[in-house]
Structure 1
């Protein structure tokens, strides 16, 4: 019994010991409960708990006369510090939206604009203006970590109805200036209206009317062997600043954004040759596309384009066209009017045959039409200048006689197809350097014949599981 009493006294014999024990237990509980996610916080709490035991030991050792007073004083200080830390951790911003608001923003770090209200008792209150965009010189890093929302009429908004992007960054592009903002979209609305206002603000930054304290450490303009280019992939952009029109670049990467058409600034870049707009909600190509006189390649794959109703015959420089992954079932006939088209990507659509191919596409040198639903490929006979044919991942069961017409073919990838028959006329492909094909349905004799017919070709046989 005496041993138990002494043990309990060592653990709970003073206020500091009780506080230390509870802190240690909480540290272990938090670490286990979060699966180690908050292990750093747990380790800090564990250290504080052990430190409280150490302080208790030192006080008892050097100052027994004032032991109890010291215990009570330090315990109260510990509770106050704990309360202060908790309140600081819970500090938040109360954001009041206009009642009719669907998208709003707070733009930070713009010199000359008013600072936001000071945080009072761990709470900062912000009322967004009627135009739904608040511009301030306050830094984003000075804001409390949590936010709460309500409408100006007092109605409280739940977190499920507000999509908060605290890391919205808009690059001014022509320089290293950056605009940082908190963007709020309510009830799954679009942020296009706010993006337009932030773009207008970036235009003012670019002409020196206003200044932002934020900069981008990297220069967006990169010089390559074929000329300068800019990469703005995955930036969530709907608009470009006006100053982009003054850039001397030959390539711009705008994939994975929110553009609904080709940005108008691009028409003014006289040196522009390559535009990559994959994965954007573009519905149709603009009627004035012909203004891009030097355009050599255009990529609009994974967009919403289902048909093309604009004249492409005036795109004299266009050689490469990508309209992949658009769920196309019908070939856009306007593509045939591109006068010097050499490279065409139609992969990951829903074509069942190649009946759309005719003599108008005879200048093609590369055709990518893999991952469709093709069964018959006899219409390839019109592509007499073709050098590369990527037609894998379809439902093709034979290589027909028409393959002989592709006398310039150098690469053929037709794997991941249930090929059962290969026409002997494939031997006429004397320029073929590489063939990739599945051998699941081919006999040893078939493979032997193929090697004899194409003695100079490197044949890759693949076995499909």
Structure 2
């Protein structure tokens, strides 16, 4: 049985085949950084609350099913990583971790998250991808410092309108949220740099998208072949614009002058507008044939034969 000094401040026990928290850790009250990811741990012991100096607790990729209320005693915690477990509930005491900056809960079995997460006003990163969430609490609108929000692949019954209040967002993933219409609240996110709407049923991107001047990446992956249109002829992306999988991409003539990346997905036949011959880069056609072959003289072409984002 391993022994740990009571003076230790950091431990990395990742991928050690552990099935439980080493009980000796209960005496390591000066511990600030604890990494136990990639093990076979099923339970977080209540004595975790004794480690009040913890700043980073990483338990990703285990078999944990519940989080004890004692987690709320970790008032110095900055990062909590619980991704890739089997967690079904998060206790409301999570809201007592007032210093938390990063909270990773993706790929679990959560049907709900507590409204007390809205008390984590210093939170900058929140990931709840790949869960079973049907609702996002209104209290999350208080997360005014949140910069990255990941909601991909949940079971949301309604679009979380509170997103419009999260005006510090830089990255937003809303894939597979059963969206049919483009959420207008997104247009309030003037600092947004990356927006992923893949796996929805959108048929149009409104002209107001032009208001998001800092947007660099826009990803739309359709679950079925669908015509997609950008409706503003003055829309010009200054960075990276990604469109994936639609049968036909319709863009106004002068909207692609500054385009750096074009991802055409895996369609065998795609219609490429004549205007797109002005592109500096055409990326990721995945080796498929095009129905129109413009004169690419002077245009830098990058072709990828496999791999999708």
TM-score (norm 2): 0.66
Alignment root-mean-square deviation, CA: 3.9
**CA 1:229–1:326 in 2, change beyond 3 Å: closer, same or farther?**
same
Secondary structure, counterpart of 1:377 in structure 2: strand
How far 1:329 sits from its partner (Å)? 3.4
How far 1:309 sits from its partner (Å)? 5.2
The answer on whether the counterparts of 1:362 and 1:384 sit within 8 Å (CA) in structure 2 is no
**Where does residue 236 of structure 2 map in the other structure?**
384
Tell which structure's C-alpha radius of gyration is larger.
1
**CA 1:372–1:457 in 2, change beyond 3 Å: closer, same or farther?**
farther
Q: Report the Cα distance in structure 2 between the residues aligned to 1:343 and 1:333, rounded to whole angstroms.
A: 16
Secondary structure, counterpart of 1:242 in structure 2: helix
How far 1:386 sits from its partner (Å)? 5.1
Q: Report the Cα distance in structure 2 between the residues aligned to 1:280 and 1:404, rounded to whole angstroms.
A: 40
Aligned positions of 1:197-216 closer than 5 A:
199-200=68-69, 202=70, 206=73
**Where does residue 36 of structure 2 map in the other structure?**
none
Secondary structure, counterpart of 2:165 in structure 1: coil
The answer on whether the counterparts of 1:250 and 1:274 sit within 8 Å (CA) in structure 2 is yes
The answer on whether the counterparts of 1:370 and 1:390 sit within 8 Å (CA) in structure 2 is no
**Where does residue 338 of structure 1 map in the other structure?**
189
Aligned match of 1:437 in 280, 285, 296? 285
**Where does residue 82 of structure 2 map in the other structure?**
232
Q: Report the Cα distance in structure 1 between the residues aligned to 2:224 and 2:305, rounded to whole angstroms.
A: 20
How far 1:369 sits from its partner (Å)? 0.8
Secondary structure, counterpart of 2:258 in structure 1: coil
The answer on whether the counterparts of 2:150 and 2:174 sit within 8 Å (CA) in structure 1 is yes
**CA 1:280–1:438 in 2, change beyond 3 Å: closer, same or farther?**
closer
Aligned positions of 1:79-228 closer than 5 A:
168-170=42-44, 175=51, 199-200=68-69, 202=70, 206=73
Q: Report the Cα distance in structure 1 between the residues aligned to 2:45 and 2:187, rounded to whole angstroms.
A: 38
Secondary structure, counterpart of 2:195 in structure 1: strand
**Where does residue 264 of structure 2 map in the other structure?**
414
How far 1:404 sits from its partner (Å)? 3.1
The answer on whether the counterparts of 2:176 and 2:199 sit within 8 Å (CA) in structure 1 is yes
**Where does residue 375 of structure 1 map in the other structure?**
226
1:359 and 2:228 matched:
no
1:457 and 2:293 matched:
no
Bigger helix fraction: 1
Aligned residue pairs, count: 255
Aligned match of 1:251 in 92, 102, 105? 102
> Greater shift after overlay, 318-327 or 238-247?
238-247
Q: Report the Cα distance in structure 2 between the residues aligned to 1:401 and 1:339, rounded to whole angstroms.
A: 23
Aligned match of 2:273 in 411, 417, 423? 423
Q: Which runs of 5+ in 2 are unaligned?
A: 1-21, 24-39, 58-64
Q: Report the Cα distance in structure 1 between the residues aligned to 2:258 and 2:157, rounded to whole angstroms.
A: 32
1:242 and 2:242 matched:
no
**Where does residue 141 of structure 1 map in the other structure?**
none
How far 1:320 sits from its partner (Å)? 1.5
How far 1:279 sits from its partner (Å)? 1.6
The answer on whether the counterparts of 2:221 and 2:245 sit within 8 Å (CA) in structure 1 is yes
Q: Report the Cα distance in structure 2 between the residues aligned to 1:369 and 1:427, rounded to whole angstroms.
A: 22
**Where does residue 167 of structure 2 map in the other structure?**
316
1:273 and 2:124 matched:
yes
The answer on whether the counterparts of 1:295 and 1:315 sit within 8 Å (CA) in structure 2 is yes
The answer on whether the counterparts of 1:435 and 1:457 sit within 8 Å (CA) in structure 2 is no
How far 1:315 sits from its partner (Å)? 1.9
Q: Report the Cα distance in structure 1 between the residues aligned to 2:201 and 2:131, rounded to whole angstroms.
A: 19
Q: Which runs of 5+ in 1 are unaligned?
A: 1-108, 111-165, 178-190, 208-220, 222-227
How far 1:370 sits from its partner (Å)? 1.9
Secondary structure, counterpart of 1:324 in structure 2: coil
1:292 and 2:143 matched:
yes
The answer on whether the counterparts of 2:117 and 2:139 sit within 8 Å (CA) in structure 1 is no
**Where does residue 247 of structure 2 map in the other structure?**
395
Aligned match of 2:198 in 344, 347, 350? 347
Q: Report the Cα distance in structure 2 between the residues aligned to 1:169 and 1:296, rounded to whole angstroms.
A: 31
The answer on whether the counterparts of 2:159 and 2:179 sit within 8 Å (CA) in structure 1 is no
TM-score (norm 1): 0.46
Q: Report the Cα distance in structure 2 between the residues aligned to 1:253 and 1:242, rounded to whole angstroms.
A: 16
The answer on whether the counterparts of 2:95 and 2:118 sit within 8 Å (CA) in structure 1 is no
